[in-house]
Every structure is written in C-alpha cells, then in structure tokens.
Structure 1
Amino acid sequence: MCAKIKATKQKRMWCKEWLRRREDIGSHMTILRELKHGHEADFINYMRMDPNTFYKILSKVEPYIMKEDTNMRQSISAEARLHATLLFLSTGCSYRSLQYSTRISKQSLSAIIPETCKQIYEVLREDYLKTPSTPEEWKNVSNDFWRMWNFPNCLGAIDGKHIVIRQPPGSGSYFYNYKGTYSIILMAICDANSNFIYADVGVNGRVSDGGVWANTSISQRIVNHTAGMPEDTKLPGSDKTLPFVFLADDAFPLQRHIMKPYPYQKQTTSERIFSYRLSRGRRTVENGFGMLANRFRVFLAPINLPPEKVDIMVLACTALHNFLRKDEINQYSQPEGCLETECLSDGIVAPGEWQQTSADLLGLQVVGRNASIEGKVVREKYMEYFQGEGAVSWQNKFLNDSGNVSYNV
C-alpha cells in the first residue's frame, strides 16, 4: 500500500508585512502627526476637525480602546484606532479601501470600528446626548425655542429617518421599507440649536412611524408621566394655559403633547399660519439630520454592515454631532447653502443642500394618523394664539395660495 503523502500547506503570516509598517515613515499616522504641527488647515481638511478636537476625543476614549502589546505582536495604538474610525465615518469608504490608507487590515477594521464607535458613544452620551429629565431642564429647551423660533412651550422637534443599509443575509423583507430600500430607523428629538436630545435607533424599516415612536422609551415615559415634563403653563403675553408639546410632521399622531400641521388641503388662513409656525420650529430637526449627513458621509450610501453594528455607529455619530456643535462649533460650521434658511424680508424659504444630496435620509412620509380629541383642542388654542397675542410681523409673507410655505426653488 502506498503511503499517503500529505500535501504541505504553505503557512500564512498573521499579518502582511506592509500592514505591520503602519508606524514607519510615510505611513498615514506619520502624516497625521506631521499635520498636527504647523499645518492645522490641512489637518482640518483631512480629519474634518482641528488637532485639539481630535486629541480631546482621544483622551476620552483611549483608556477604553487601547490594547497591550504581546510577545507575538505589537498592538494597534488607540490613536490609530480612533483615526481609522473617524475616517470611516467622515468618508464612508469601505473597509477594503480604508486598509490601504490606514495600514490596518480589513478584518481588524471590522472589529476596531464598531468597538471604537461604542466607546465614543459611551464616553460622550452623559455630557452631550443627555435627555432632559426634570421640569427645569425641559424649560431650558422650551425657552430656547421661544427665543429662537417663536414657538412657546416647545420641548423639541421630532422626526424619524431611514438609515439605508445593505440587505442582511437571510433577512427577507424584514428591513424592506416603502421606498424600496432596506433600512433601520433613527427616531430623534432635537432642541432649538439642532442638537440631539434623544436618539433611538434600530427598528427595522418596515415599521410605521407611529409604531416606532410609540415604542421608544421617551414616548412611554410621556404616557406614564415619568418624563419629568413641566406642568401646563401660560403662553407668553397671554392668559391661555397650554401643555408643553413636541413638534412633528404629518407622519405622527396628533396628541396632547404632539403638535403637527393641519391637513394641507383647504386650509384656512389661521390654519396656514399655525402650520408655518410649526414647520419653522421643526426646521431644527431637519437641519440636525442635514448636518449629520453632511459631516458623516457614511450615511450617503447604503451601509454594508450588520444592523447591530450600524446601530452603535449611528449613536456614535449623534454624540459626536452634539460634541462638535457644543464644544467645537467653529470647526463644525456648515457650508453656505447647506441648511434650510428663510428670509424674513421677502418670505422665501431656501431648502438646504442636504435635501438634495442626502436622499438616503428621507423622512417618514406616512399620513392619516388618528388624532386625539384633546390633541385637536390643544392645536386649535395654539392656532388662536398665533393669530392673536403670539403673532409675528412676518408670518403672512410665508404663505402661498396652496397653504404651503413658499420655497425658493
């Protein structure tokens, strides 16, 4: 009997030689450190933030993402891990492409980026993504809405956005939405400065807007009266006592604490004015999503990652958005034309550039939700207020014959 000859299999290296040289001269990390000293403008153009901001974030997450060297291999530094993660979020390039610029294998990137996103969210959420929980904290949000957007007793603007993903293997139509794509939904509330004060992500794209909102923790706390919301109070300059409300669009149910526009068909002048004043306040969440997609361009194309990894990535981006908006606003300013704006002198609203470029972040458009009787009463009282004591001098300029806001398109 012939002896069996075992084919010798060539042993594979644990890491390719060119990947191990990430710390050598000419590597991406070397360029990053060189730009840090004396080339700040180029650093900002490259990383979408200045060196101080990058290393401030690094100081927060480094204790949680740094790894120890072993006898077998040198670990990937915390600096390189954060650099790769922010580069992925800001460009949306694939792991395969990113490995050549970071000298980190795509297999390692697939573990490093979700882990770093999770730690970014964990270290930032307490200070930068905190939902108000006391009447005083909610009133601070309300005061800003009245001062900046002329809507009283407003606790935030609500919207839901589809984050488009590649169809997960074996998922069938579970993530398939009405627009013909696969997605998970980001449900968020923004304050008057377009900062996120609440974010819930992960519900599959098939679920309706009402179903998403009703199952969020904040919605359940509102229903159970455990959200810490203030008691009903008088509107500025008026004897009308009304509840504090959130501003929403047609996709949401009209309730005591949720205001949405009147149906667009056959609106009266008073109803049109109310709808304009509400849509003006809702601009904060629309612009919030616009800034998110403009700075973190990973959202501009279907994300080819498992849904659970997309969830934590989205939460990390919302926390980073707030961090940059609050602490590094000069480095997070938006290009001219990016945000939706209005000209009070001629009554023209200019849609933001993000409305054309971020088609994958379209809002939920389902209409016809049942309205509660109490919600209708509250809306009518707000409508009367905007026609009387709460009127602003320019509000009639923004109405056209169809009852919609005038856009410069």
Structure 2
Amino acid sequence: MDILVEQERVRRYFVRQRQNIIVYLAALYDEGQFSGGRRRRSIWVKPWLQRRVFYGQYDTLMMELMRESRGDFKTYLRMEPEMFREILTRVAPRITKNKQRRPPLEAGLKVAITMRFLATGNSYHSLAFDFRVAHNTISLFVPEVCEAIVAEFKDEVICTPSTPDEWIEVANKFRRRWDFHHTCGALDGKHIAIKKPKQSGSQFYNYKGFFSIVLLGLVDADYKFLWANIGANGSSSDCGVFNRSSLEPALREGTLGLPPPEPLPFDDRNTPYFLVGDDAFPLRSYLIKPFPHRFLDHDERIFNYRCSRARRVVENAFGILAARFRCLLTTMQTTPRNAKRITKACLILHNLMRDRYPSLQNEDLDHDDGQGDVVPGAWRNVGVLDDVNDVARGPRGTREGKQLRVYLKHYYCSDVGRVPWQEAAINMPLR
C-alpha cells in the first residue's frame, strides 16, 4: 500500500510541474518573447536598411550616373540608360507586388539590383550593403526578375527558324561574312559553375573539377542565339546534351525546316544544309565538324580553316555573353533551377543588345585582318566559359557525314570554292 501511495504522490508532482511549465510558456508568449517556437523579432526592418532612399546606390549613385555620365552608367550596369528604362517599363507589371502590411520594394530597385548582379556576379551580401536591401530578400526576387525578363522578351529576341526561307537567310549571312556555304548555325556547349546542390552526389560534378550546369547554344553569323538548351547536369558531355535535346531528333527526322539540298555556288551537285560544331559532336550530314587534328594533309587543313571561320562565331558569342554578364564567370551560389533562370535571362538580354546595339561590342570580337589572319578579340582577356568536352569516345560519324565533309574539302580547295588568303592562313606560324 505504501508503494502505491508513493507512486501517486510522484505522479501528482510531475502533473503540477507540467502545468507550471505550460503556464510559464503561455506567459512568455503573451509578453512577445517567442512565437511558434522561434524568438519574436525585436525589430521588423533594420534601421540602416530603412535609410536606402538616402544612401542606397539606386536612389543616389545610379540616378547621378543616369543624369550626368552615360558612359559610367553603361559600365555600371553593362547597358545603356534607354535599355534599362525599356526593360523596367516592360517588366514592371510582372514583378510589382500588391501593397500589404508594408510598402513593397519598387520595381526599379529590383531590376537595378538584378542587372547589377548579372553584370558583376557580386554576392547577395555585397549587393545588400550597396543597395540597402536584405540579402535574403535579394535572393528571392533576383530569380523572379530573371524569369519575368525571359517571359517578356523570349518570343521577340530568340526565335528558332522553322521554314526553309528563314534558314536560307541564316545561311546567307554565314556565306557573306565567313565564306562557308549552307551553314545554318554554329553549335557549342559551355559550363556554368554553381555551388554543389544538396544531396546531388556527383551528378553536377564535371571532369574539370567543379559543379556546373551546361549551356548548349546554336548561334547565327551575327553572334545571336537561335536556340539554347540550359540546365543539363555538368557531368554530361556536349554530345550527350545534344542527343537528349529537342534539336537532335528535329535534325535527324527532318522536322526542323532546313532547306532541301542545293548546289554550292558554281557547282552542280546538290549539297545539304547543316550546322557546324567541334570534335565533341557526332559527324552527320546535318552536322559538320573539322577533321581530326593529327596527320592532316594540305586539303584537310584548308577545310579545317574554312570550317573554323564559321565555327568560331559561337566561341565569340559565348565570349561577349560572359564579358557582359560576369555572373556567368563566377560560381553561382544558387540552386540549379535558379542558375538556369539567371542564364536564360543573360541569353535574352544578350540577343536584345545585339538587336538594339549591334556594333556595341564588336571591338571585343575576333576579326580577320583582311589577309586571313585572325586577330583575337578583347573578350579573351576578360575570362572565358569552360568548354564541355567529351572525355570518352563519341559516336562514330555516319557514312553520309564523312562523304559530305570530303566533298566540302575538295570544293573549298578548288578554283570555284577557294578564297585568296587560305593558303597563307594555314602556313602562318602559331601564336
């Protein structure tokens, strides 16, 4: 009996203690000490953030540059003031929030911070001190602004040709500017560095030793992107991304709208239209690449030189893209999904710049000196995106692709297809 009494006494003791704890916690909650298991904020917005109108760069430095120094504004955001105003006007309705308890951030501030991030690749913490906006808030709206830019401008500035007439226009530009006929675009892939995604293992780990997503782009003769595939994991190769993309089956099945085969200038044999790429891609009748770089004879070196003149366009396009938007040269501290959004916005803005200001970055490009000598552009001194190479053996070239490459080799070494400087170009010393 004594044991039962003692157990009942202990039980009542713990019941009273539990009731006291509940009363104590309820009192703390009423006093505002914590809410929902977390300590309630002592202040909602830090005082120094509330003074952004007086000291933040958007309302002070940016407005001064816009009024007094267009050149410095262009250096600050990598775009003209008129371009910034156009983007703001068109994107503002998509990113403006309804007023709730507190006034929302204005659309101009969001666009300015996003453009500054794209132009510099600065961390969100650094931008927070520059613009006096909390870094966690910046991390939320930068991907949203990028997504709004893509939604607003995508159909206008990135339009993959779908008819033979549109592809012929692309091919004519390659013929006029780069002396390579029937070329409907240059194809290549690049790595965009990101931080390691959680629980991803080696999925995004590439052979160069960092984590990345892959940007595969098709570029026309004016350095504009006609098509892009963004977001493949970094462990993939150029060929692997290409084979899993929508472009490869469209080319293979003939649904992309390429023109029917036609004779080359001053020739009588029908030759198909094609894309040009590097060694990482498979050799097909619709995708031509140079001969392997060992044991080349004279005609093969001539063909490689002529083919590389057209293929170099995509290298330059990636170069001016990264020179303008240097966030692509940093390791993005975002998820792969947000990195994909940011990269898409960079491509959209790149094409928009090429439309509005086609000669703005031409001094950064590789160019010929008139004698076939390639003068490296300034973009090579800024930093380049890493190539996506295939470390394993790629698929074998088809018989049709090999036959087409041999035929083009003979054509460009004949009297009707040669250019005056090609002999000197293959014999000049390496730099």
Return the TM-score normalized by structure 1: 0.92
C-alpha displacement of 1:363? 4.3
Return structure 1 stretches of 4+ with deviation > 6 angstroms: none
Corresponding residue number in structure 1 for 2:420: 393
User: Which residue in 1 is equivalent to 2:64?
Assistant: 34
Which deviates more from structure 2 when the two are superposed, residues 217-226 or residues 171-180?
A: 217-226
Deviation at 1:353, TM superposition (A): 4.4
Q: Residue 257 of structure 1 corresponds to which residue in structure 2?
A: 286
Two-structure CA RMSD over aligned residues (Å):
1.9
- Which residue of the partner structure matches residue 180 of structure 2? 151
**1:251–1:367: 8 Å Cα contact kept in structure 2?**
no
8 Å Cα contact 2:239-2:282 kept in structure 1: yes
TM superposition shift of 1:359: 4.6
User: Residues 52-77 of structure 1, C-alpha deviation per residue, up to 9 Å, x if partnerless?
Assistant: 1100111221111111222x101111
Q: 2:393 & 2:268 partners in 1: Cα distance? A: 32
Q: Distance in 1 between matches of 2:410 and 2:334?
A: 49
Question: Is 1:376–2:398 an aligned residue pair?
Answer: no
How far off its partner does 1:356 sit?
Answer: 5.3
Equivalent of residue 181 in structure 1, options 193, 204, 210? 210
Which residue, 278, 295, 299 being the options, matches 1:270?
A: 299
Q: Secondary structure at the match of 2:44?
A: coil
| Aligned-partner Cα distance in 1 for 2:108–2:317 | 28
SS of 2:217's equivalent in the other structure is: strand
Q: Name which one, 1 or 2, has greater alpha-carbon Rg.
A: 2
> Scaled by the length of structure 2, what TM-score is found?
0.88
Matches of 1:394 and 1:133, distance apart in 2: 35
Identity of aligned residues (%): 37
Give SS of 2:283's match: coil
Give the superposition deviation at 1:208: 2.1
* 1:172 equivalenced with 2:198 (yes/no): no
Q: State the secondary structure of the residue aligned to 1:132.
A: coil
Deviation digits for residues 296-352 of structure 1 (CA, Å, limit 9, x no counterpart): 00111211110011111111101100100111235x325x5x43333333x533344
Q: Which residues in structure 2 correspond to 1:47-58 (within 5 Å)?
A: 47-58=77-88
Residue 354 (structure 1) shift: 3.8
Moved more, 275-284 or 32-41: 32-41
Find the counterpart in structure 1 of residue 387 from structure 2.
362
Structure 1 SS opposite 2:207: coil
Q: Once the 2 structures are TM-superposed, how far is the Cα of residue 43 of structure 1 from its aligned partner?
A: 1.8
Q: Structure 2: where are the runs of 5+ without partners? A: 1-15
User: The residue matched to 2:59 in structure 1 has which SS?
Assistant: helix
Q: How far off its partner does 1:367 sit?
A: 7.0
Structure 1 residues without counterparts, runs of 5 or longer: none
Partner of 1:18: 48
Q: In structure 2, do the counterparts of structure 1 residues 124 and 298 end up closer, same or farther at CA, with 3 Å as the change threshold?
A: same
Tell me by how many angstroms 1:42 deviates.
2.5
Residues 84-120 of structure 1 deviation map (CA, whole Å, 9 limit, x = unaligned): 1110000001111111112221111111000110111
CA drift at 1:276: 0.5
- 1:170 deviation in Å? 1.2
Match of 1:348 among 350, 364, 373: 373
- Contact (CA 8 Å) 1:301, 1:360: kept in 2 or not? no
* Aligned amino acid, residue 186 of structure 1: L
Residues 268/261 of structure 1: CA separation in 2 closer, same or farther (3 Å cut) = same
| Equivalence for 1:299 | 328
| Partner residue in 1 for 2:89 | 59
> Are the counterparts in 1 of residues 214 and 388 from structure 2 also a CA contact under 8 Å?
no
* Deviation (angstroms), 1:360: 4.2
Cα offset, 1:122, TM superposition: 1.4
For residue 142 of structure 1, what is the aligned residue in structure 2? Answer: 171
From 121, 140, 146, the counterpart of 2:150: 121
8 Å CA contact 1:189, 1:285 repeated in 2: yes
Q: Secondary structure at the match of 1:34?
A: helix
Q: For residues 336 and 125 of structure 2, what CA distance do their matches in structure 1 show?
A: 19
User: Distance between the aligned counterparts of 2:44 and 2:166, measured in 1?
Assistant: 53
1:324 maps to: 353
- State the one-letter code of the partner of 1:396: E
SS in 1 for 2:102: coil
Q: d(CA) in 2 for partners of 1:41 and 1:212?
A: 40
Report what 2:229 is aligned to.
Answer: 200
> C-alpha distance in 1, partners of 2:425/2:200?
46
**313-322 or 212-221, which deviates more:** 212-221
Contact 2:56 2:131 in 1 (8 A): yes
CA distance in 2, matches of 1:227, 1:94: 41
Change (3 A) 1:141 1:399: same
**1:357 CA displacement:** 4.1
Aligned residue type for 1:190: V
Secondary structure, in 3 states, of the residue corresponding to 1:200? strand
1:211: which partner in 2? 240
Contact 2:219 2:226 in 1 (8 A): yes
Task: After TM superposition, give the deviation of residue 368 of structure 1 in Å.
Answer: 4.5
1:250–1:368 Cα contact (<8 Å) kept = no
Preserved CA contact (<8 Å) 1:165 1:183: yes
- The number of equivalent residue pairs is 398
Letter in 2 for 1:212: V
Shift of 1:364: 2.3
Alignment check: 8 A CA contact 2:239 2:390 kept: no
Equivalent residue letter for 1:34: E
Distance in 2 of aligned mates of 1:406 and 1:317: 37
- Kept in 2, the 8 Å contact 1:235–1:242? The answer is yes
CA distance in 1, matches of 2:213, 2:354: 25
1:358 CA drift (Å) = 2.6
* Structure 1 equivalent of residue 249 of structure 2: 220
- 2:5 alignment partner in structure 1: none
Amino acid at match of 2:161: P
**Higher helix proportion:** 2
The CA distance in 2 between the partners of 1:107 and 1:101, in whole Å, is 14
